[in-house]
Amino acid sequence: MGLLADLAAAIAAGEQTSERAVGSALAAADRLQPILNAFTVLLHEEAATAAKEADRAARSGTKGRPLLGVPVAVKDLYDVTGTVTSGCSRAYVNNSPAAADAYAVAALRRAGAIVIGKTNMHELAFGASNTVSCFGPANNPWDPERMPGGSSGGSAAVVAARIVGAALGSDTGGSIRIPSSFCGTTGLKVTGGSLPLDGVLPMSPSLDTPGGIASDAIDLALVHGALSGEPVPMRPAQPIEALRVIGVPTDHFFQIVDPEVENAVRAAVDVFAADGIEIREVPAPWASEADEAWLIIALAEFARAHASLLEHMDDLDPGIQITLRAGAAVSADDERTARDRATAARNGFASTTADVQMLVTPTTPVAAMRHDATTITIAGVEMQVQLGAQSHFTRPISTIGAPAASIPCGVTSWGLPIGMQLVGRVGSEHLLLRAAARYQNETGWHRRVPPNSA
């Protein structure tokens, strides 16, 4: 089982207490915060009180709460009762505390989880580095001089550092998958529209998806089950009957990619092939069009969601100011064209996946970059970091609304994690999680622990 699952089982069996587990998590968070800067607030008193209640429930034999007593963290764009939902922006950091939990937070609490704090993120979620935040950059536990990815960088960092077994993130264009790739965690972007966004600070409402980050697929399945209300049957040591053919795209996803990343992903494909799964090369001509459509749609919706900030631009990072102005300048015709292109891309994806159950791609073109990186050059192509070079492989999947997971599949010569993206048909989250668990049952990349950890 996963770390989260093991802890939940130990608490339920009386072999561990929630009070000790939560206390250890908070102590680790306090110790690592100066290094990682991954939290925006820690909830010591609230979490300690909840842990005592969880221990009483465990002693009484409470059933049906699969996360009873386990500590988790929540990205700072989810409403958590009594805390400010800041989006890591000075524009919102002095807002009134939330009066109620977001849907996803409430779902985790119903499953018994205990929120120990809120995590750092890229300002207003529009960025893939987490170097931009009114709380300062979040750092990667493998190397604090490097970015954890964004926008859910703090959530991936605290999971990778084993402070908590799972954390809530959100994914609009890769904001769960990119940090999971950079930090060596397992993350799931769900099918667009499949989980409620109540109580979530919006970035681009038609593209936003809530979801979890965990150290492995077993734990992620527990979190997804709590969020969706549908437990995920996991049998990682057994073949997956529904998974017969995997597609490997011949274009876009392998055209601009670091050789170390490509080699690791292709080696991971070989693991699936060794399990008897057929591997087919498939075209993905829709991907580039989906990538371009994503930017127009996201900019336009971002500007509408935060229109009031056009009168308070001084409260925003200069890069976010530019993003907001660009969104406000998107014409209705351009947005309609982008949405038409997105529809065409969805149809193209359906054709690509007609005879394969899943696609395998790199999650990101490169591993985690240094905080001061402004550009990366791959295969002779220069890409801008703050304009989303990291999201080149994740944004197209968000545009088409498909579910996708990122799982560790190797390391670079610098020892940095490499992520593999599993992309499924609409509604195939369970298949992706089971495929990820099967792969992790046969490999050990997800078990690597960074030097800065609990």
For the annotated catalytic residues, the residue numbers are 75, 151, 175
Orientation angle between helical segments 429-442 and 217-228, nearest 10 degrees: 160
State both tokens at 389.
């070079």
How far, in Å, CA of 342 to CA of 363, rounded? 20
How far, in Å, CA of 410 to CA of 19, rounded? 35
DSSP 127-153: -SSS---TT----BTTBTTB---SSSH
Q: What's the angle, vertex CA 110, arms to CA 180 and CA 173, rounded to 5?
A: 30
Q: Quick one: how far is CA 219 from the chain centroid? A: 14
Q: 215 Cβ partners below 8 Å, 6+ apart?
A: 2, 3, 4, 159, 160, 162, 165, 166, 185, 186, 446
Residue with tokens 């100011």: 321
How far, in Å, CA of 58 to CA of 114, rounded? 14
Alpha helices in 147-280 (DSSP H): 153-160, 177-183, 217-228, 259-274
